[in-house]
Amino acid sequence: MGRLVMKFGGTSVANIERIHNVARHVKREVDAGHDVAVVVSAMSGKTNELVAWASAASPMHDAREYDAVVASGEQITSGLLAIALQSLGVQARSWQGWQIPIQTSDAHASARILGIDGAELIKRFKERKEVAVVAGFQGIHEATGRITTLGRGGSDTSAVAIAAAIHADRCDIYTDVDGVYTTDPRVVPKAKRLDKVAFEEMLELASQGAKVLQVRSVELGMVHNVRVFVRSSFEKPEDIDPHGTPPGTLICSEEEIVESQVVTGIAFSKDEAQISVRHIEDKPGVAAAIFGPLADASINVDMIVQNISPDGKTTDLTFTVPASDYNRARDTIEKARDKIGYKTMDSATDVAKVSVIGIGMRSHAGVAAQAFKALSERNINIRAITTSEIKFSLLIDAAYTELAVRTLHTLYGLDQA
């Protein structure tokens, strides 16, 4: 017996039939003797519909009222699942974020969790064996008493945070895939499901383009050492042994991984844009003049490359931003032109970022050099490079993304993983 958090995303609760399927998954774990808290997203497509309604009511809507509208999707799902569980004879109660409470900042539509009091949930486990069905994605700002939401993918974050608050043995993320793969199987059919991934690796995979888990949920798992298990919600609940190990991927501390490969996975993102600011006088404060206004505009800068002219008088700065921020980033730089003092600005949106990730890189030299050689043999030009202890990322022309991913996947032996 243990304590579990089970999280189900929008496709898993897309209609009443699937909600009944989720209820059977939950009942299986309850019958096995586990204390269970369930975190649910809104039904598939519902959040988009609610966002559209808010925009239709007024394009310049109040962020506080926006949160009140979009948080209702998870409220519906939690109530429906509690009803479905009760129909199976399982003691269950739905909880909204403010009822637990999940305390957050007041950054509406992108709030951060500040704390969760799991005492009442734990009490009900002990006294009633009651399943808590929690609306994900939402919380409350204590000072104002207003409902807040955590941003896209926030239900993953809710689930891991609740797992930490109730001291759960594991947080199971049920999704439409059966785990984390070495890369996207739609691009590389030979991609393999990973049995275990270290928190640091998953953080890099998620932040570099892998869509399986939300970045903030992985951060929370790493900080609080909450083991996260990614598994499929579309397996028949009756076919799963609750005491066995089902197919899936465990996200855990590095200590639990006995022997790691040099490279764990290849992530990629086509949602990138490149901006080059050229012929800037090379003097202190130039970088701050460029990146300060971008930070003030909440534009995230990723890869940065600086080239100094042969005479040392001028410099070029090249960096990437999310494609969705491309126009705002250009406008921000143009407005600061007098302060920066650049001559020209070049940009491109037909670029992609390919990242190679693995904790094994710490103890192996020449991993990146192998990639440079393999890509050059395929006539793939590298525009920019960034590195960290367990990752390196390459910026290339978007047209070569799939070829680059397949080349690197084979190069590091992941086809046979």
pLDDT band at residue 311 under the 50/70/90 scheme:
confident
What's the chain's length in residues? 417
Asked if 40 and 206 touch (Cβ cutoff 8 Å), the reply is no
Contacts made by residues 200-206, CB under 8 angstroms, sequence distance 24+: 200/254, 200/359, 200/390, 201/264, 201/265, 201/357, 201/358, 201/359, 201/390, 202/251, 204/267, 204/355, 204/357, 204/388, 204/390, 204/391, 205/180, 205/264, 205/265, 205/267, 205/357
How far is 89 from 79, CA to CA, in rounded Å?
Answer: 16
| Confidence at residue 417, expressed as pLDDT on a 0 to 100 scale | 56
Percent with pLDDT over 90 in the chain: 76
Tell whether the model's pLDDT for residue 1 goes beyond 70.
no
Tell whether the model's pLDDT for residue 188 goes beyond 80.
yes
Task: Tokens for 139, please give them.
Answer: 């919380």
Asked if 237 and 181 touch (Cβ cutoff 8 Å), the reply is no
| Confidence at residue 136, expressed as pLDDT on a 0 to 100 scale | 96
Task: Tokens for 98, please give them.
Answer: 């403010």
Task: Tokens for 100, please give them.
Answer: 């637990």
How far is 210 from 204, CA to CA, in rounded Å?
Answer: 9
Asked if 35 and 4 touch (Cβ cutoff 8 Å), the reply is yes
pLDDT tens digits along 133-169:
999 999 999 999 999 999 888 999 999 999 999 999 9
pLDDT band at residue 283 under the 50/70/90 scheme:
confident
CA 318 to chain centre: 26
How far is 90 from 158, CA to CA, in rounded Å?
Answer: 23
The secondary element (H helix, E strand) that includes residue 349 is strand 344-357
Percent with pLDDT over 70 in the chain: 99
User: 32-41, 105-114, 358-367 — which is least confidently predicted?
Assistant: 358-367
**pTM of the prediction?**
0.87
pLDDT band at residue 234 under the 50/70/90 scheme:
confident
- Average of pLDDT values for 157-184? 94
- Average of pLDDT values for 334-359? 92
**With b meaning 16 or more CB within 10 Å and e meaning fewer, what string describes 49-73?**
ebeeebeeeeeeeebeebbbbbbbb
Distances (CA, A) of 245 to 50, 148, 241, 250: 38, 36, 8, 10
How many Cβ atoms from other residues are within 10 Å of residue 228's Cβ?
Answer: 27
| Confidence at residue 307, expressed as pLDDT on a 0 to 100 scale | 84
How many Cβ atoms from other residues are within 10 Å of residue 191's Cβ?
Answer: 21
Asked if 374 and 411 touch (Cβ cutoff 8 Å), the reply is yes
- Which three-class secondary structure state does DSSP give residue 279? strand
The secondary element (H helix, E strand) that includes residue 113 is strand 113-116
Domains of the chain (ranges; CATH) run 3-254 (3.40.1160.10), 266-416 (3.30.2130.10)
- Average of pLDDT values for 58-79? 94
| Confidence at residue 233, expressed as pLDDT on a 0 to 100 scale | 86
Contacts made by residues 104-108, CB under 8 angstroms, sequence distance 24+: 104/139, 104/140, 104/141, 104/148, 104/150, 105/141, 105/148, 106/141, 106/143, 106/144, 106/146, 106/148, 107/148, 108/63, 108/64, 108/66, 108/67, 108/146, 108/148, 108/149
DSSP state of 225: T
- Taking Cα atoms as reference points, which of 108, 127, 110 lies closest to residue 119? 127
Q: Tell me what the pLDDT averaged over the chain comes to.
A: 92
| Confidence at residue 257, expressed as pLDDT on a 0 to 100 scale | 85
Asked if 77 and 41 touch (Cβ cutoff 8 Å), the reply is yes
